Structure 1
Amino acid sequence: MALNIATISDIARHAGVGTATVDRVLNKRAGVNAETTQKVMDAINALGEPTVMRGRPRQKSGFRFAYVLPEAQSPFFDKMERLIAQTAGEFRHQHITEVTHRLDADDPVGFAASLARIGDCDGIALVAPDLPAIKLAINELVRSGVHVVTLFSDVAGSMREAFIGADNRAAGRTAGLLLARMAAPPERDLLLLLSQATRMSGEIERRIGFVQVIEERFPQLKVARQIDLPNDETGIASMLRSAFEKDIDITRLAGVYSTGAGTGGVVQALVTPGLALRPGLVAHDFTEQHQALLLNDSLSYVLHQDVHYCVLTAARVLRGLCENIRGALNVVQPRVEILTAENLH
């Protein structure tokens, strides 16, 4: 008589939850409500206690993981795609085959449909907008046995099994602290918060953190918001120049925080004739463009996280989930690094 051996994935599918939830219940960790815990226990009673590998993991011929990124022309995502390709040698040593997909994040329904069709893999590392259609696609993938982790920008409330990336709210607070210390009220008491129209939770969390720290620690400063910028640098420069002419007194501007892409357009707009002192500027992610802007003093600080570490950690977590390794979800998140023209390596 054959013995049916349940896995954590089997239990998760039967209970209609993620494997991370099953792991929490099995290890008696907090964060799971009583109703969900009972669903997991009922599934265990029906299928049997899951087999968990201890010590050296079982061997498998190989794993296939997909990295899914927005297709928007972004120096950060382009750099990330190149880095994934350059890491192929390290993946091969771990018996991992990686494939990268670029999907249209401006079309959430199409993004979700394309994501749902990525079924020829064991796991997915995902950068995606936090939208209902995408949450549903993630949930269906997890229920079908495909492990999903989010990278850099979370999709909270979905059945994704881990988030890998720096604390975006803390990054926004860090930007606020840096720029507030450059202000000189009452003459220069204005900070400008910039963002494209976005549903990336990472950028939204940065905005929240920035405003929080100014309200809590620097009430003498004011925050102006431009959170509907276009995606191209020329459009950003044009919109900001118009705002400086009509709505924002640039002579009072102490600092600018750009939460997303388009730093070059921001720099163009800040080149204003007659401006005695250029405002401080903080942006995210170390790219070739940001390196050049730091070195010519157009950019004050870049807030960065170790992208290579995040890419490798995503693969490690996905492999651990595939092999039912207890502790697979124990992730040391990258720290927010503050880069200046003086500490580039």
Structure 2
Amino acid sequence: MSTATIADIARHAGVGTATVDRVLNKRPGVNAETVQKVMQVVEKLGTPPPRGRPRKVENARFAFVLPSESTPFVELLDRQIAQAAGEFRHQHITEVTHRLPGEDPAQFAAALAQFADSDAVAVMAPDLPPVKLAINELVRTGVHVVTLFSDVAGSMRETCIGADNRAAGRTAGLLLGRMAVPGRDTLLLASQATRLSGEIERRIGFAQVVEERFPKLKVLRTPDLPSADAGATRALLRFLRGSGVDLARVAGLYNVGSGGAGVARAIESLGLTGTVPVIVHDLTDEHRSLLAAGGLAYVLHQDIHYCISTAARVLRALCENVRGALNVVQPRIEILTAENLH
């Protein structure tokens, strides 16, 4: 086991100990070249032990649990976890990603219960009683559990890592309400038959802010759309063409979950791109292209890498009984436009 100290790393890297501390704790204020230099020395000498507290375990076994549904956001999340593998190794974490069937809560809960031999679990799960009970049983057996991006209310999980979803929905409502032009008084709210509490919270926040701040506007909820983009396009077009919706009065559309590219294509098929602004979540590759091309007005995004890293850091601290392990800064909602893409 490495006995390197922060002072050793600083001496080999030719920087101060404060700089090393900033790099190791991922705090801002260090340029990329210096970060790379410090991390190269860390690769050679090893990560110093935490100050003031020996590690409880040399290697911790973490399970990242995601729905098996192949949506662009879940696939993006899966890739981000894989890309963080090197970062996890520096924290002495062995992580495995599992995909469980989110459409079957009983099966999801039964599979989740099998992770009792893990030290910790970070899970994105449907908010349903069987899942809540499975989380509670894991916690009772000594497994630390946090939820990712969408919470499971009333469970014994130790915290939820992710942006405030109700605030995200309110942000979408505020943006579309301000963009509404005279004569267009209907805002479309599109979603799937979701069991994720995060998406439900977005719907609530959207409806709240429209009612509070834009009383002349009305919210029209679409039927539940398929999660796949192609299916979402077909279902939304079928609804808009066959339900008597006056397209001349539609002021905007907010899609709370998956299928965002699909709803944007439906609006394009109706010749309403630019006239009916569309807001979706998560900067996937397709959303980036649509945003740049004008097919989307805004993408609401949160720093996924930060959330994954924070979940791992919190769980590692909980495994070591570190005081204040749950004192974390949750990510903010970013409002992305074609002008601020990077």
- TM-score bucket of the superposed structures, by smaller chain: 0.7 to 0.9
Aligned to 1:222: 218
1:240 aligns with 2:236: yes
Aligned to 2:255: 258
Aligned to 1:147: 144
Contact 1:179 1:254 in 2 (8 A): yes
1:330 CA displacement: 0.6
Question: What are the superposed Cα offsets for residues 140-177 of structure 1, whole Å, 9 maximum, x if unpaired?
Answer: 00000000000100001000001110000000000000
Seen in structure 2, the aligned counterparts of structure 1 residues 274 and 145 have a Cα distance that, compared at 3 Å, is closer
Consecutive unaligned residues in structure 2, runs of 5 or more: 1-49
Aligned to 2:341: 344
1:55 CA displacement: 5.5
Consecutive unaligned residues in structure 1, runs of 5 or more: 1-53
Seen in structure 2, the aligned counterparts of structure 1 residues 316 and 298 have a Cα distance that, compared at 3 Å, is same
- Please list, as runs of the form range in 1=range in 2, the aligned pairs for 1:140-289 lying within 5 A after superposition: 140-185=137-182, 187-247=183-243, 248-273=245-270, 275=272, 278-289=275-286
> For 2:115, what is the secondary structure of its paired residue?
coil
Aligned to 2:116: 119
1:254 CA displacement: 1.0
**Runs of 4+ residues over 6 Å off in structure 1:** none
1:274 CA displacement: 5.8
> For 1:198, what is the secondary structure of its paired residue?
coil
1:341 CA displacement: 0.7
Alignment equivalent of 1:65, drawn from 62, 67, 82 = 62
TM-score normalised to structure 1 length: 0.82
User: What code does the residue aligned with 1:205 have?
Assistant: E
TM-score normalised to structure 2 length: 0.83
Contact 2:274 2:294 in 1 (8 A): no
> C-alpha distance in 2, partners of 1:284/1:275?
20
Between 268-277 and 205-214, report the one with greater CA deviation: 268-277
> For 1:316, what is the secondary structure of its paired residue?
helix
1:80 CA displacement: 1.0
Seen in structure 2, the aligned counterparts of structure 1 residues 274 and 281 have a Cα distance that, compared at 3 Å, is closer
Question: What are the superposed Cα offsets for residues 180-199 of structure 1, whole Å, 9 maximum, x if unpaired?
Answer: 111013x1111000000011
Matched residue count: 291
User: What code does the residue aligned with 1:97 have?
Assistant: T
1:232 CA displacement: 2.1
1:58 CA displacement: 1.6
User: What code does the residue aligned with 2:103 have?
Assistant: D
User: What code does the residue aligned with 1:87 have?
Assistant: A
Seen in structure 2, the aligned counterparts of structure 1 residues 164 and 277 have a Cα distance that, compared at 3 Å, is closer
User: What code does the residue aligned with 1:70 have?
Assistant: P
> C-alpha distance in 2, partners of 1:97/1:272?
47
Identity of aligned residues (%): 63
> C-alpha distance in 1, partners of 2:273/2:68?
40
Contact 1:251 1:275 in 2 (8 A): no
Aligned to 1:318: 315
> For 2:198, what is the secondary structure of its paired residue?
helix
1:227 CA displacement: 4.7
> C-alpha distance in 2, partners of 1:192/1:242?
14
Greater RCO between the two (CA within 8 Å, min separation 6)? 1
Seen in structure 2, the aligned counterparts of structure 1 residues 149 and 277 have a Cα distance that, compared at 3 Å, is closer
Seen in structure 2, the aligned counterparts of structure 1 residues 224 and 289 have a Cα distance that, compared at 3 Å, is same
1:133 aligns with 2:96: no
User: What code does the residue aligned with 1:237 have?
Assistant: T
Contact 1:66 1:100 in 2 (8 A): yes
1:62 CA displacement: 1.0
1:271 CA displacement: 2.3
1:241 CA displacement: 1.4
Question: What are the superposed Cα offsets for residues 65-119 of structure 1, whole Å, 9 maximum, x if unpaired?
Answer: 1100001111111111111111111111111111000111000000000000112
